[in-house]
Structure 1
Amino acid sequence: MALYLRILYIITGLTGIEVSVKTGKSISIPCLYESKYKNHVKYLCEGYTWGSCRYAVKTNKPDPSGKYSISDDKNQQIFTVTIKQLAYENADYWCVVEINNGPDHGKYFKLSVTSWTPSLYVDHQRITGYIGENITIRCRHSYSGKMKWCRLGYHCVTGSSGSIDGAAVTTHMSKPNVFTVTMSGLKSENSGWYWCAKGDIQIPVYLNVTEKPITSKYSKLNYTFCRVPFDLKILIIPLSLLIVAIIVAFLIWFIIKQSKCY
């Protein structure tokens, strides 16, 4: 690791901001980097200042405790860090790209961990939408004020309508302190990280756009074979009489046949 961290805009997006999260929960933070760094090691460093920053997890060195995890999407040039079981305290972190023979590149972000309702949150941080359909995201916040919906590394929709990568976006306050975002006409390229923002506080949301599963109407039918209750004991007497009748008939036939022979 380099002796110091050069703070540049090499990593952009959800960095240099604050994310509010409830104690005991998990949070995933996406960190965007330039394409020339896609084969470099990425890591999460914990600490407010670089001098006190310590490794939490690296792409080439997993965290044995399981509290931290990291994944690198080289196609989108985004590495994602996940922090689990957050304690009731503010936590300072750095998203960092390791530079060989030079200072590492990174950006700072802060987790504001509270035992109360977070100041900005979503019900689900990862959601699934289907190609050609719509998806609605509700960003819940504690304070009134202007909000925006952005794609990581791209532009934001700050008004009541706009578009992101070909998908129409409409926003409104569906109820007090609920900022509702609807994306229409989804395409596969709309998959990726987005975020709701209110001032310096943001919450990342991952949208996975895929083909809608095809369900046959016949797969929903339940074929039930009716079973009529049947007691074999009711056949014992008739079967017994039938067997006796057959035996008697055979004996009579045998006697008649024998008498004819004489």
Structure 2
Amino acid sequence: MIYPLILSGILLHISDDAGLNALNIAVKSGSPGIIPCVYDKQRKENRKFWCQGYTWGICDILAYANETGKYSLTDYPAQNIFTVQWENLQTSDYGYYWCAVEIGDHGTKDEGYHLYLTVQSAPDVSAVNSSVSGQEGGDISVQCLYSSGYKNEVKQWCRYKDQSCYTAGRTDTSQTSSVQISDDGRRSFTVLMTGLKLTDSGWYFCSVGNLQVFVQLTVTEPKQAITTESKPETQMHDEILVLFLPVVLVLLLLVTLVAIVTVRLRKKPDAL
């Protein structure tokens, strides 16, 4: 099933048809974490902020982009994303949070969409690695973990920017890569992405039931392979010539000197 990310004006929200009002992000208490927030490309220059509240009208601003504190926000205008990072959240920090953009016009509301953070000492859903990387044309593997209470829930791997999801038990091929999900039926499922393209880079999430956890994927260009193949014949000849040219010149000089001395000795008159 594909969960579309609907644009309502500029305000982003997840379609009610998807069965989700907002992503429910699983967070481990006492540990660092990071999540992405997307925004419309028209808002690249606008100030970004992070706030907390059950409704937009009573949202308490916690941090602005490029400020330090409990939450650190970093804006990436080229990707239309800003990230929210923290070092230590407690279970009491659970609740609704908003990814938001400051409009600044008098009488115009700021724009945002909400996420729910479930903060647990042992999260019911997690990922072995929160960031993975691979080379173009290669493949990557991501292992997503879940508690025993979630073993019968639907397992999915979704791309955040368009909410396109791949479901365990199916093999789907998109324009970007082939995705396979295998569930061990106990405590984990593994995502295998093959034929990676540079455009596959971005944020994804493991989804189990009503819980999600973010994973960042970075795809790079292949490094130039260092080979020991034979050099072209003409190149080898050139290198040999450069190597032995001084020796040849010295030999020619010696031969010339010997010839000159020999000629002079033959021309020398016999002694009386």
Q: Same fold (TM over 0.5)?
A: yes
Q: State the match for 1:176 in structure 2.
A: 186
Change (3 A) 1:48 1:84: farther
Deviates more, 1:11-20 or 1:135-144: 11-20
- Alignment partner of 1:16: what SS? coil
Say whether the 8 Å CA contact 1:8–1:106 is kept in structure 2: no
Q: State the match for 2:79 in structure 1.
A: 76
User: Is 2:148 aligned against 1:147?
Assistant: no
Displacement of 1:62:
0.3
Q: State the match for 1:136 in structure 2.
A: 141
**How many residues are treated as equivalent by the alignment?**
208
Say whether the 8 Å CA contact 1:11–1:31 is kept in structure 2: no
Change (3 A) 1:53 1:39: same
1:110 equivalent among 116, 119, 129: 116
Say whether the 8 Å CA contact 1:33–1:77 is kept in structure 2: yes
Q: State the match for 1:197 in structure 2.
A: 207
Change (3 A) 1:168 1:149: same
Structure 2 Cα separation of the partners of residues 113 and 165 of structure 1: 35
Give the % identical residues: 34
Q: 1:242-261 alignment to 2 at 5 Å?
A: none
The answer for unaligned runs of 5 or more in structure 2 is 1-7, 15-19, 229-272
Deviates more, 1:25-34 or 1:10-19: 10-19
Structure 2 Cα separation of the partners of residues 104 and 93 of structure 1: 15
Change (3 A) 1:73 1:86: same
Q: 1:35-50 alignment to 2 at 5 Å?
A: 35-50=41-56
TM-score (norm 2): 0.69
Which deviations, in whole Å up to 9, do the C-alpha atoms of 1:13-66 show, x marking residues without a partner? Answer: 79822111221112211111111112211110123334543222212x503x3x
Say whether the 8 Å CA contact 1:15–1:95 is kept in structure 2: no
- Alignment partner of 2:11: what SS? coil
2:67 equivalent among 62, 65, 85: 62
Q: State the match for 1:166 in structure 2.
A: 176
TM-score (norm 1): 0.71
Say whether the 8 Å CA contact 2:129–2:143 is kept in structure 1: no
Change (3 A) 1:73 1:128: same
Q: State the match for 2:26 in structure 1.
A: 20
Displacement of 1:75:
2.1
RMSD (Å) for aligned C-alpha atoms: 2.5
